[in-house]
Chain A
Amino acid sequence: MLEDKRALISKLKKDLLVWQGVPQRSIDDSIMDLGTLEEAFPNGVFPRGVIHEFISFNRVDSAVSCGFIGGLLGKLMQNHGICIWISSIQTLFPASIKSFGVVPESIVFVSMKRERDVLWAMEEALKCHGITAVLAEIHQLDFVQSKRLQLAVEKSRVTGIILQHNPKMLLATSCAARWKVTSLPSQSEDELPGIGYPCWNVELLKVRNGIPGKWQITWSPEGFKVASEKETKVKDWTPSYQNLG
C-alpha cells in the first residue's frame, strides 16, 4: 500500500516535471560531466535553455566563478557554438579560458556603459537563435528583470548565465539555479610542489525543482572531478545573508 503510494507520488512528480517543460534525461545530455552534482537537478540533467545565476562577493570569487563557468561553457560550446559575454566594467581575460576548454575566439565580448543596457543586450541576445550561451556581468538582478530574461530564453532555448558581483541584496529571482563558487585550497598529490589544479567549493543555493547542495570540485584538463560525495544539504543558507537583506 505504502509502496504503491510512493510509486504513484514519484510518477506524479515526474509528470509534473514534464508539464513544466523540464527535459527528460537522454544520452546526449550527459556530456556535462558534473558527476553527482547533476543529481541535484530535476531528472538529473543540467538544465539548458534557462537562466543560471552566480553570485560572488569579492574579486577572487568572481574570478573563480569565471573559471567554473568556463568549464561549463566548454561543455556547452562543443559543437562550435558561440557565447556572448556582456559586461559594463570588468571582464574576462580571454587568454585564460582556453585552459577550460573554450576557444576564446568564439566568445564575443560586448561592453555596454550602463547596467540597464547590459540587461537589455542580454535580453536581445537571449532571443537570438544560433547562440549557445549568453553571459552578463551585473551587480543586481531583481525579480522583474529575471522574469523578462526567463521569458526571452523560453523561446530560443539559449542558456543564460548571470554573474552578480557584490549584490547589495539577494533578491528572489526566477532563475533556474543560483550558484556560489568559492575557492578551496588545492589538493596536491604526493607532496608535489606548485599550486596544482584549481579546487572549488560549489554551492547550489537554489534549484528549481531540485535539491540544493554543496560539492567540492576540482578542475583538471580531463574535466570536472567531484571530489567527495554530497556532504551535507545546505540546511538554511538565508541567515548568513540576513544582514545583507
Chain B
Amino acid sequence: MKKRFASLWFRHLKTDWMTVCKPHLQEVPFVLALAVHGKLIVNASNLLAEQAGIHVGMAIADARAFIPSLKIINEQAGLAEKILHFIAHWCIRYTPQVSLDKPDGIILDISGCAHLWGGEAAYLEYIVSTFKQHGYDVCMGIADTIGAAWAMARFGSEKTIIKEQAQSEELLSLSPAALRLEQFQLNRLQALGLKTIGSFAHMPRSVLRRRFGDSLLLRLDQAMGFEDEFIISIKPILPYEERLPCLEPISTANGIELALEELLINLCRRLSGEGKGLREAELSCHRIDGKIERITIETNRATAQVNHLFQLFAIKIPQIEPALGIELFSLGVSKVEDAESVQENLWDNRIGLKNPAVTELLDRLKSRDSSCEILRYVPAAHYWPERSLKIADTMDEVAIVDWQTARPRPTRLLKIPERIIVTAPIPDYPPILFIYKRITHYVKKADGPERIEREWWIDQGEHRDYYAVEDQQGQRFWLYRAGHYDGRTDQWFIHGFFA
C-alpha cells in the first residue's frame, strides 16, 4: 500500500502550552528565557512578542528594549519534549503510528487512516481545528514522504496536501532549508546563490556529493521518495489490539462495560481462533480532554474466555475516571501465550490446578489487590535453606529435583536469622541454654550438627552448623552457629521453629 505521512509543526509549542496552563498569559507578550554562558537568551516567544520584533536567540536585555513590560518566564529543562510526548500520545487517536519530530513537531503515519474521517482534506481540517480549539498554533502537511510532509508543514501554507507522486514538482520551488539540511550546507548553498531546491535538484549527483556531502543527497532522495525513511513509533503496535472509537463520548460505567464487552468478544474470537490466550492486557480509555485512563489485568494461565476476562476488568472499572467522556477505547494484549483448547465438560470435576475455576479464582484475587502475590514453590538443587526452593514460573511447572526430607525442616523459617545468646561450652555440641527474646530456654534434647556449606560461587561467608533443639517445654527450634566454634557468643542464630 502506498504510504502517506503527515507532519505537524507547532510554531509556538512552549508558549502555547504556557497559555493553555495559565489563560491570563493570552493577552500578555511573554518569552521563555534560558541562561546561556551566563546570559539570558530568548528561547521561545509568543505571537504578541514576535509581532513586536522579538525573536528566538535575542538577549533578554535587548528584548526588554522592544517591550519594557515584557513578561519573562524561566524555562524548565526538557519542557518541549514533555509537551511533545503528551501531544504524541494524544494523537494516537488519529493513527496508531506516531513519532516525535524534535524539537517542535510530530510525524504521523496516516496510511489507510484518513478515509475514516472522510478523506485527507477533512482529516487535516479536523486535526488542525481540534488543535486550534485546544489553543495550539499548528501547521500541517500531508505527502507521500516524511521529508515532503515536513517541508510542506514548515514552508508551505498552513494546511497543505501534496497529491500522490506529486512531491517532486511541489518541492522544487521551496527554499533548501525545507530539506532538513545542516547549517553549513545551507550556508554554502546560500553563498553559491542556490536559493531554491529546484536550482540544484537536477545537478549531477557526483558534483553535489563532492561539495555538500552524502547527507544532502540522502535528504533530497528521502524528500522525493527515492529513498525509504521510517518513523519510530512512540508506542509499538501490539500484535493483538482492538480499538473502538465512539461517536458520542462515553462517561458511564454501563457504557464502559458495553465497550469492554465488545472489544473482548472481538479479541477473544481472534485469540481462540489462533489457539492463543492472553496473560496480560491493558484497556486504555482516551478521554476527550487528552488524558488516557488505563487499567491492566494479569492472568495466571493463558485464557481467551470472555466472561472471565470481563470479570477481571469489571473489578477495576470503578478506577476509570471518565471526566467529560471517553472517545476511544483500545484493548491491547502485552503478553500472549499458547492456550490449551478448552473442552466443554458437562461436569467439570477436575481437582487442582488443572481446574479452570481455580486459575480464574487466582486471577480474581490478583486483580483485587495489585500487591497480592500468588506463589507456588518447587524445590531447587541447593542445600542452603533459603535457596532450597524457588518460585515456580508457571502453574504447571513440575519439580525437577526431589524435596529434601532426610532432615526435618522448620515449619516457620525466619526471613532473617535472629541473634541469640547461648551457653555452649563444648565445641561441636549444641548449647546447653539459649536466650531468645529475653526468655531462657534450656536445651533438653538436640540433633546435630548438620553442616551446610555456603555456596562459594554464589556468595561469600561462613558455613552454618545447624542444631535442632528441644527445650524443657518441648518447644523445638532450629539454631545454627556461623563458622567454626571459637568460644565467641556472637556467632549463634535462631533460624526457625519446628512443629
Interface residues of A (CB under 8 A from B): 59-60, 62-64, 66-68, 70, 79-82, 90, 92-100, 104-114, 117, 120-121, 124-125, 128-132, 183-186, 188, 193-196, 198-200, 219
Partner of B375, one of A109, A112, A117, A194: A109
Tell me which residues from 366 to 396 in chain B have a Cβ below 8 Å from any Cβ of chain A: 368-369, 371-379, 385, 388-389, 392
Complex CA gap A63/B399 in Å reads 25
**9 pairs, CB–CB < 8 Å, chain A vs chain B:** A92-B411, A95-B403, A96-B498, A99-B408, A106-B353, A110-B372, A129-B348, A195-B446, A219-B499
Tell me which residues across on chain A come within 8 A of B353, comparing CB atoms: 82, 106, 108
Whether A124 lies near B374 (C-beta < 8 A) is no
Chain B residues bordering chain A, tally (CB within 8 A): 56
Whether A130 lies near B369 (C-beta < 8 A) is no
Whether A94 lies near B358 (C-beta < 8 A) is no
Distance in Å from the Cβ of A186 to the closest Cβ of chain B?
Answer: 6
Q: Is B413 an interface residue (CB 8 A)?
A: yes
Whether A108 lies near B374 (C-beta < 8 A) is yes
Whether B409 lies near A105 (C-beta < 8 A) is no
| Of B37-45, B277-285, B457-465, B470-478, the one with at least 4 CB within 8 A of chain A | B470-478
Distance in Å from the Cβ of B393 to the closest Cβ of chain A?
Answer: 13
Q: Is B188 an interface residue (CB 8 A)?
A: no
Beyond the given pairs A60-B477, A110-B375, 9 more chain A to chain B contacts, judged by CB atoms under 8 angstroms and listed by A's residue number, are A63-B499, A66-B411, A95-B388, A106-B352, A112-B369, A117-B372, A195-B476, A200-B499, A219-B499
Chain B: which residue is nearest A104 at the CB level? B377
Tell me which residues across on chain A come within 8 A of B357, comparing CB atoms: 128-130
Q: Is B361 an interface residue (CB 8 A)?
A: yes
Known: A63-B410, A96-B411, A108-B362. A185 touches B472 (CB 8 A): yes
Distance in Å from the Cβ of A77 to the closest Cβ of chain B?
Answer: 9
Complex CA gap A219/B408 in Å reads 13
- The 9 closest A-B CB pairs, nearest first, are A67-B499, A63-B497, A130-B355, A93-B413, A185-B474, A66-B411, A96-B409, A183-B474, A63-B412
Chain A: which residue is nearest B370 at the CB level? A113
Interface residues of B (CB under 8 A from A): 348-353, 355, 357-358, 361-362, 364-365, 368-369, 371-379, 385, 388-389, 392, 398-399, 403-405, 408-413, 444-447, 468-470, 472-477, 496-499
Whether A121 lies near B368 (C-beta < 8 A) is yes
Whether B372 lies near A111 (C-beta < 8 A) is yes
Tell me which residues across on chain A come within 8 A of B351, comparing CB atoms: 79-82, 130, 132
Tell me which residues across on chain B come within 8 A of A94, comparing CB atoms: 377, 389
Chain B: which residue is nearest A90 at the CB level? B412
Complex CA gap A16/B164 in Å reads 88
Chain B: which residue is nearest A196 at the CB level? B445
Known: A63-B498, A110-B373. A95 touches B358 (CB 8 A): no
Partner of A117, one of B369, B385, B475: B369
Whether A108 lies near B375 (C-beta < 8 A) is yes
Tell me which residues across on chain B come within 8 A of A79, comparing CB atoms: 351
Whether A96 lies near B474 (C-beta < 8 A) is no
Chain A: which residue is nearest B378 at the CB level? A105
Whether B476 lies near A198 (C-beta < 8 A) is yes
Complex CA gap A129/B445 in Å reads 45
Partner of A194, one of B352, B376, B409, B447: B447
Whether A110 lies near B365 (C-beta < 8 A) is yes
Tell me which residues across on chain B come within 8 A of A105, comparing CB atoms: 376-378, 392, 398-399
Partner of B365, one of A90, A100, A121, A132: A121
Whether A93 lies near B474 (C-beta < 8 A) is no
Chain B: which residue is nearest A82 at the CB level? B352
Partner of B389, one of A63, A64, A66, A95: A95
Tell me which residues across on chain A come within 8 A of B497, comparing CB atoms: 59-60, 62-64
Complex CA gap A179/B374 in Å reads 28
Chain A: which residue is nearest B376 at the CB level? A108
Tell me which residues across on chain B come within 8 A of A125, comparing CB atoms: 361, 365
Partner of A107, one of B376, B409, B477: B376
Partner of B352, one of A120, A121, A124, A130: A130
Known: A60-B475, A128-B357, A185-B444. A113 touches B372 (CB 8 A): yes
Whether B365 lies near A186 (C-beta < 8 A) is no
Tell me which residues across on chain A come within 8 A of B470, comparing CB atoms: 185-186, 195
Partner of B358, one of A82, A184, A198: A82
Tell me which residues across on chain B come within 8 A of A186, comparing CB atoms: 445, 470, 474
Distance in Å from the Cβ of B346 to the closest Cβ of chain A?
Answer: 14
Complex CA gap A130/B378 in Å reads 21
Tell me which residues across on chain B come within 8 A of A188, comparing CB atoms: 445
Whether B374 lies near A112 (C-beta < 8 A) is no
Distance in Å from the Cβ of B403 to the closest Cβ of chain A?
Answer: 4
Tell me which residues across on chain B come within 8 A of A67, comparing CB atoms: 411, 498-499
Tell me which residues across on chain A come within 8 A of B477, comparing CB atoms: 60
Whether B358 lies near A109 (C-beta < 8 A) is no
Tell me which residues across on chain A come within 8 A of B379, comparing CB atoms: 95, 104
Chain B: which residue is nearest A106 at the CB level? B352
Tell me which residues across on chain A come within 8 A of B378, comparing CB atoms: 105
Distance in Å from the Cβ of B149 to the closest Cβ of chain A?
Answer: 51
Chain A: which residue is nearest B468 at the CB level? A195
Complex CA gap A94/B409 in Å reads 9
Chain B CB count within 10 A is highest, among A64, A94, A124, for A94
Tell me which residues across on chain B come within 8 A of A185, comparing CB atoms: 444-445, 470, 472-474
Whether B368 lies near A97 (C-beta < 8 A) is no
Whether A109 lies near B376 (C-beta < 8 A) is yes
Chain A CB count within 10 A is highest, among B355, B364, B499, for B499
Complex CA gap A109/B472 in Å reads 33
Whether A112 lies near B364 (C-beta < 8 A) is no
Chain B: which residue is nearest A130 at the CB level? B355
